[in-house]
Structure formats: C-alpha cells, structure tokens
Structure 1
Amino acid sequence: MIKIAVGLFGAPVAWITQLFLSEPLAAHACYPYRMPLTAPIWEGLPVILAIISIACFAVALLSGLVAWTSWRQSDAKSVGENRNRFLVKLSAMSSFIFIVAIIFNICVILLVPPCSSWF
C-alpha cells in the first residue's frame, strides 16, 4: 500500500514543491518592491532554481520508478485485486504526466531569462 501511495502522490507533490519554491523566489528576485528589475537581486538565481528543479525531478523519477515496478508486479498477480491494479495504473500515468510537467518547468529555466518582460 505504501508503494501505491508513493507512486500516486510522489510526482504531483514534487511538481507542487517545485512551483511553491521556484515561483516566489523568482518573483521576489525580479520584483522585490513596486519597481520591476532588469536583473535578479541574487546573481545565483538560475542556479538555485536549477537545483530545486533537479531535486524535484529526481523525486518524481523515483516515484515514477516505484509506480512502474508496482504496475509490472500487479500484472503478474491474481485478478482478484482490481482496486489495487487500478490505483497502480493510475499512479504510473500520473507520475508520467507530472514528470513531463517538471521537464517543461526545467525548460523554462533554461530558455527564458530570469527577469524578462512579458511583452
């Protein structure tokens, strides 16, 4: 049951953690007061955001691996565990979706300048 919970909630929690840590840091670094800045107040902001993203990506991958192995093991078991098989398949799909979301957030860090204007 713990494998199902890790597979089901690990990647979404990693993605939410990435957003809850990265977005406020980036917003404060580029807009600390009422005036937007052209450069972040911390020089190492991209490195900090990259470290947060890599850590969350690693947690999501670990969660996805747990979900994948649980799914592979559930196919070999008896048919009587339909609820667990459904949850294991759901956790594998959920992990994949949130791993892709974390990868897209990593691409934003690599491709968009930290304090660029929106227009």
Structure 2
Amino acid sequence: MPESGLASSQPFATRRKLLAGCALAGLFGTPGIWLLQVIVSEVLSATACYGVSAPRAAPLWSGFTTWIFAISAVAVAVAAPCAGFAWYGFLLARRDGRSAEPHPHRHEALRTTEQLRADDAVRVRFIALCSALVGTGFLVGVIFIWLAPLFVDPCSAG
C-alpha cells in the first residue's frame, strides 16, 4: 500500500480513516451532542414547567432539576471525548505534516509529487484545526447548559 504524504509508518488508508474519524468527532459529534442536549432539555422543561395556558410555579415532577443536571452531565461525558479526539487529530496532523509547506499555485499537472503531498498535508491540518475549534466551542456550550440549573431555577417566571 502506498504511504501517505504525511511521514508515517501507517498505511495511507489507516491514517486517512483515523484523521477522518477525528475530524468527524469535532465537526459533527460535539455539535450533535449539544443539539441533542438542548432538544431533550427544552422538551422536558416545556412539559414540566408549562401547563396548557400558564406556566407552573414548580416543576411537574419531583427531582426535575436532578434529571436535567444528569442529562447534561451525560452530554458533557460524551462531548468531552469528541472534542479531545478532534484535538488529537489536529496534533497528529500537525506533527506528521510539520515539514510540509504550501507551494505557490501552479497548474496541478506541473506540480511534483512532493508538492502535491505538501499541499495535501496543509489541507489535512486545516480541516483538523477547524474540527478541533468547532468541537471545543460546542463543548463550552454543553458545559454552560450543564451548569445553567445551578444558577437559574428551571421553572422561573423571568
């Protein structure tokens, strides 16, 4: 099997799958967990805190705050490894492509194999960095939603 442009002893397909998994974890895993957390929390809050025509003074279920806190804790426990996996992919891409520098834009047919591999390594690092930043941003959102019940009453009027 051919080696990737990134200096490694792993086969090309294995390295690509690992970096793709890292990118997917940061770009879709952490935002997906955040979205699921928001949807579940909002549905439960709407059901527990609002009647047909007026808001309730207290939640419909006892232990409602505990349930919201537990759901958010599970979201943090799943989102944190996704963001960590994205950062691992970025560090791996950065370490393996450290010597790669982009080349001036020329027609693709005129580029050497080394120039094409260097350009590929730059693209992989960029995607890995975007994944790590998106994963971290949504992890911060998950943590804020997790801590919200500590500061705001779930069925408060204002």
Answer whether TM exceeds 0.5 for this pair: yes
1:28 is aligned to 2:47: yes
The code of the aligned residue for 1:16 comes to L
Give the superposition deviation at 1:72: 0.9
- Give TM-score, length-normalised by structure 1: 0.92
1:34-72 Cα offsets, whole Å, 9 max, x none, are: 121110001121111111101111111011110111111
Higher normalized helix content (fraction of residues):
1
Give the letter for the 1:47 counterpart. Answer: T
Q: Does 1:42 align with 2:61?
A: yes
Shift of 1:31: 0.3
User: Which consecutive residues of structure 2, in runs of 5 or more, have no partner in the other structure?
Assistant: 1-19, 101-117
Q: Provide structure 1 residue ranges, at least 5 long, that are not aligned to the other structure.
A: none
Please state if 1:63 is matched with 2:82: yes
Which position in structure 1 is the counterpart of 2:145?
105
Using the alignment, how far apart are the partners of 1:95 and 1:48 within structure 2? 25
Note the aligned Cα RMSD (angstroms): 1.2
Letter in 1 for 2:94: D
Aligned residues: 118
TM-score by length of 2: 0.71
Distance in structure 1 (CA, Å) of the matches to 2:22 and 2:141: 22
1:94: Cα distance to partner? 0.7
SS of 2:145's equivalent in the other structure is: helix
What's the secondary structure of 2:59's corresponding residue?
A: coil
Q: Tell me the alpha carbon deviations over residues 76-98 of structure 1, each in whole angstroms, 9 at most, x when there is no partner.
A: 11322222211110011111111
The one-letter amino acid paired with 1:100 is V
Structure 2 residue 32 is matched with structure 1 residue 9: no
Larger Rg: 2
* Structure-1 separation of matches of 2:128 and 2:72: 25
Determine the C-alpha separation between the residues in 2 that align with 1:63 and 1:11: 6
